[in-house]
Amino acid sequence: MMNFRSIVTIYFAALLTVVGFESANRPVSAHPQAQQRPPMFVLQVGIGKYLNAPKWADLRGSVTDVMEMRKVLEGDRFRIPPSNIITLTNDQATKQKIFSTFQDHLIANAKNYFEKTKKRDAVVMLQYSGHGSQAPDADGDEADKLDETLVTYDSQDVKGKNFDITDDEIFALTSELKRYTDNIVYIFDSCHSGSGTRNAEDARRLPARTTTPESVPMPGITTRSGKAADDGAEGTVMPPGDDYIVISAAQADQIATQKYCFEECGSDKEPVVFGLFTYYLIDELKNARGDTSYREVMQNVSRKVEAERPSQTPLIEGDDRRAVFGSLGKNEDAFVPIISADAATVEIGAGAIQGVKVGSIVSIYDRSVSKFDTAEKVSTGRVLTVNATRSTVKLAAPKHAVTLADKAVVASADIGTGRLKVMIDGTADASLAATIREAFAPKSGVIDSRGVDVLSNTPANRQTGRWDIAVLKDKYSRVFPDGKKNAAADCGKANGPVSPESDIYYIAGPDYIPLFGFCAETASSSADAVVKALTHTARYCSIQQIQNRRSRLAGKVVVKPIRLKTLSGTFSGRTNCVDGKFVVDNYEVVSASAPGLYPFGTGEVFWFEVTNNSPFDVYVSMLNLRSDGSIKVQFPRNIDEEKNGVLIPKNGGKRIVNSDRCRINADGDFLETGAFRTSSEPERDAFKFLVTTSQLKWSDLSYLEMDALTRNENASLATINEWIAVDLTFEVSGQKKF
């Protein structure tokens, strides 16, 4: 039996006022101080209320999405002239108005610029936030017989006519636009899934329409028709193409949801609502430089969205290596001002509204630095206290006295510092709720170190956005109707399988989708199981949040998954363990199918190749986040040659993770290999590499494993000079790739 390390994991990494704006001024081609920049022309559509549709859910965040995005585009980071942006909201966003603005603003200005300059570098962007749907295919070009649609303000006609915008119509407009520019970007915060959701107000989709959308006149423009063609790679609005970028909030079978923002948006009573995807996209664009790629932006957006809603995976199609908005971003990094400073602490001008939390890692740079990923830090530190707009940071051995002219950067959450806000359902047994509250209650005024805060069950706290995880009670058959678990599952029951009609406890995020397949029968012993599950979830989420945006290691440490294949499709010790080394017939570098996402079949064998192209010797560690919410420190291993950390030399050093070593017994059976095998069932397998310039030992990380529930303060990244996290997710399908 082959002794590969079996990995079965799920990738849980983890957007108010109704206004409209349309400038009557003539668009200008560039900022007056940057005439060499290509122009950018933008059409924004944000629809939260719909005509003749009293049963359709209002979307409170759609208008917020486009107005906040407009602020970013007009601001210091991109400096797009206001006259180059047209924003249509609610009753302005009729099908006819959207089409005429696309033609008269986007196409006409791109054409005018091209004819004057003969350059195809004008940046054109369409942003849509609102409901998505599907409708019967009008011209036979869809393999699934359905057109994906964007739902306009007047989609629901009183006479029963349908005025959705179809994917065919968007494609036709794009074909005309491509005559004048190669720099087209679509951002869709909507979804087209037929799936349901418990919180219908939270979903940006409508049921599939039964009528074919009415067309509008488009002089000189024809839609694609005839031969059946695929939609986007995941069934999204646009088909794939390298001459434009399509960014979508969710996959075709998923729900695009909203984010309810309280203290972090400066509101303590009523939430500020965004599309979840747009909220994090805006956050990333605020920090994008001229050399930041769409891939880099979307990797960070996807990680944040999935950490909050595991059931929502943003997508990007097209050449994601391109620079965001054609390199229009400011070439200096964004930073946080230092308000006050002494020898041990600094106060910075960022707080909860900017997403800073107690325990966040802050880097301090000299006033002269403009690009932080090429500069040495003055100091690092951890946040001690946070209010709405300011934070206090404890410094770690600054190289010189920090001044108010120096620059602060909030780099990342630290290991184990994230906290989950938990709501216990009102139907839960009173004694179970009391036990859980007591388990996580502060002791002697000190908050519990496991990262769980149990909220009181009040109407204010029950609002979506106030809590991260809920402990819920329901019938087993209602929680797991799709057979993800079945009647043979024990849910922690010692004396046999649970009945499908038994009451169980489970945990879920704001989308109410069960997490990790966890369940526990409604018995007195369930409290301990729920406490453990919440602890695991808090740690899981905390690790996912670790990501250093600006490090001198960024882009210089490369992690490649290598698929290991034999001609026979099988492995044996006598054949594949040669002189203590694991050898195969084919070493295949696996390419990403989407940012950070790699396709694998079930039961495939692989390892990782890590290359250090940085000017520093680095230590590498790897965490494996499993499908049950647990975490395994896969590398370094607790063996003599690895447990004190594994160093990869600078300037091109390489390491196989775990290793290319193997051992067999006298019968030729494997005793050990350094390779892994993917799960036997379709899943998503998640790996997080931590690369540091300071020694990081197995014992520094071992506390994260789920059978050890106590904190270890030695495992902090705040005192390490340079570090970076690399995330990889395997999309394990039911088909082997041999």
pLDDT in tens, 347-402: 999 887 777 888 899 999 999 999 888 899 999 999 999 887 899 999 998 999 99
For residues 155-161, average pLDDT:
76
The whole-angstrom separation of Cα 705 and Cα 29 is: 56
Assess if residue 59 is contained within a domain: yes
Reply yes or no on whether the pLDDT at 625 is more than 60. yes
**Which domain-ending residue is among 412, 437, 456?**
412
Q: Helix or strand or coil: residue 520? A: strand
Domain tally, the chain: 4
567 and 696, same domain (yes or no): yes
Distance CA 93, CA 163 (A): 11
- Residues 533 and 570 reside in one and the same domain: no
CA-CA distance, 382 to 414, in Å (whole number)?
8
SS (H, E, C) 222-256: CCCCCCCECCCCCCCCCCCCCCEEEEECCCCCCCC
* C-beta separation of 213 from 138 below 8 A: yes
pLDDT attached to residue 643: 93
User: What percent of the chain clears pLDDT 70, i.e. is strictly above it?
Assistant: 81
- Whether residues 199 and 344 share a domain: the answer is no
Lowest mean pLDDT: which of 186-195, 438-447, 700-709?
Answer: 700-709
Per-residue pLDDT at 520: 85
Cα dihedral 264/270/274/279 (nearest 10) = 0
Same domain, 566 and 524: no
| Mean per-residue pLDDT, 223-227 | 37
At residue 21, the pLDDT reads: 36
CA distance 252 to 235: 5
Is 438 within a domain?
yes
pLDDT of residue 193: 42
Q: Note whether 683 and 9 are within 8 A (CB).
A: yes
What CATH code is carried by the domain that includes residue 719? 2.60.40.10
Q: What is the pLDDT of residues 454-507, one digit of tens each?
A: 999 888 888 878 898 999 999 888 888 865 544 334 565 545 567 788 888 999
pLDDT at residue 70, as a whole number:
97
More confident residue, 563 or 627: 563
pLDDT of 515 reads 85
Written in H, E and C, the secondary structure of 455-519 is CCCCCCCCCECCECEEEEEEEHHHHCCCCCCCCCCCCCCCCCCCCCCCEEEEEECCCCCECCCCC
CB within 8 Å of 593: residues ≥ 6 apart? 599, 731
In-domain check, residue 680: yes
Q: Are residues 408 and 429 in the same domain?
A: no
Q: Could you tell me which residue, 281 or 528, shows the higher pLDDT? A: 281
* 470 vs 491: CA distance, rounded Å: 18
Task: Output phi, psi for 213, to 5 deg.
Answer: -60, 140
Q: H or E element: which one contains 431?
A: helix 430-440
DSSP string, 71-108: HHHHSTTT---GGGEEEEEGGG--HHHHHHHIIIIIIH
Say if residue 79's pLDDT is above 50. yes
pLDDT of residue 162: 80
pLDDT of 242: 61
- What local confidence, expressed as pLDDT, does residue 210 receive? 52
CB 208 within 8 A of CB 146: yes
174 domain-assigned: yes
CB atoms within 10 A of CB 231: 22
Tokens 């303590």 belong to 268
Which residue carries 């216990």 as its tokens?
424
pLDDT: is 146 or 586 the higher one?
586
Q: What is the pLDDT of residue 485?
A: 46
Q: Residue 155 maps to which CATH number?
A: 3.40.50.1460
β-bridge partners, 586: 565
Mean per-residue pLDDT, 568-581: 92
**Residue 723 reports pLDDT greater than 90:** no
Whether 115 and 237 share a structural domain? yes
pLDDT digit string, tens, across residues 227-281: 333 444 444 555 555 678 999 998 877 788 888 888 777 777 788 889 999 999 9
Answer whether residue 429 shows pLDDT above 70: yes
CATH of the domain at 356: 2.40.10
Q: How far is the CA of 404 from the CAs of 339, 353, 364, 366, 410, in angstroms?
A: 6, 21, 11, 10, 16
Give the Cα-Cα-Cα angle 704, 705, 708 (nearest 5 degrees). Answer: 85
User: 536 and 560 share a domain?
Assistant: no
DSSP 543-586: HHT---SS-TTTTTEEEEEEEEE-SSS---HHHHEETTEE--SE
For residue 210, tell me if it sits in a domain: yes
Q: Are 203 and 255 in contact (CB under 8 A)?
A: yes
487 in the same domain as 556: no
Confidence of residue 19 (pLDDT cuts 50, 70, 90): very low
Q: How far apart are CA 193 and CA 253, in angstroms?
A: 5
Are 691 and 577 contained in the same domain?
yes
Nearest to 243 by CA among 337, 146, 171, 339: 171
Distances (CA, A) of 635 to 310, 524, 544, 607, 722: 25, 38, 17, 12, 19
Q: Does residue 432 lie within any of the structural domains?
A: yes
Residue range 41-52: mean pLDDT, rounded: 94
Q: Domain of residue 304: give its range.
A: 39-324
Structure tokens at 438: 């007591």
Residue in this structure with the two tokens 């839960």, named with its chain if needed: 428
Q: What is the pTM of this model?
A: 0.76
- Residues 381, 442 share a domain: no
Q: Higher pLDDT residue, 588 or 214?
A: 588
Q: How confident is the model at residue 148 (pLDDT cuts 50, 70, 90)?
A: confident
Domain boundary among 293, 324, 355: 324
Query: What's the pLDDT score for residue 91?
Result: 95
Closest CA to 467 of 520, 534, 385, 543: 534
Helix (H) / strand (E) containing 147: strand 146-150
CA-CA distances (angstroms) from residue 515 to 454, 512, 609, 711, 735? 18, 9, 31, 23, 25
pLDDT at position 640 over 80: yes
Residues 275 and 305 in one domain: yes
* pLDDT above 90: percentage of residues in the chain: 42
Give residue-wise pLDDT tens across range 171-217: 899 999 999 999 999 999 987 543 333 234 555 445 554 555 556 65
Residue 32: is its pLDDT beyond 80? no
**Residue that finishes a domain, picked among 527, 544, 561:** 544
pLDDT at 25: 43
Cα 674 to Cα 31: distance, rounded to the nearest angstrom: 56
Residue for token pair 């791109």: 110
pLDDT per residue over 287-312, tens digit each? 888 888 998 899 889 888 887 887 78
The closest of 90, 82, 33, 87 to 58, measured between CA atoms, is 90
Only one residue has tokens 């948006």, namely 265
pLDDT at 223: 43
Q: For position 652, what pLDDT does the model report? A: 96
Distant-in-sequence, close-in-space partners of 104: CB < 8 Å, separation ≥ 6? none
pLDDT at 663 over 70: yes
pLDDT category at 60 given cuts 50, 70, 90 is confident
Residue 329 in domain: no
Handedness of CA 665, 668, 674, 677 (dihedral sign): negative
**pLDDT of 635 higher than 80:** yes
Between 209 and 437, name the one with better pLDDT: 437
Q: Tell me if 6 is assigned to some domain.
A: no
User: Which token pair is 520?
Assistant: 């526990």
Give the pair of three-digit tokens for residue 622. 């790897």
Cβ(18)–Cβ(48) below 8 Å: yes
The single-letter code of the amino acid at 478 is R
DSSP state of 674: S
* pLDDT reading at 320 higher than 50: yes
Yes or no: say if 288 and 77 are a contact pair by the CB < 8 Å rule: yes
- 251 Cβ neighbours under 8 A, 6+ residues apart: 234, 235, 236, 313, 315
Angle between helices 294-308 and 526-544 (to 10 degrees): 170
Contact 703, 543 (CB under 8 A): no
Residue 18 binned pLDDT confidence (cut-offs 50, 70, 90): very low
CA distance readout (Å), 666 to 5, 201, 337, 663 = 21, 64, 66, 10
Assess whether 466 and 533 both reside in one domain: yes
Q: Residue 156 — very low, low, confident or very high, per pLDDT cuts 50/70/90?
A: confident
Indicate the pairing of strand 183-189 with strand 244-248: parallel
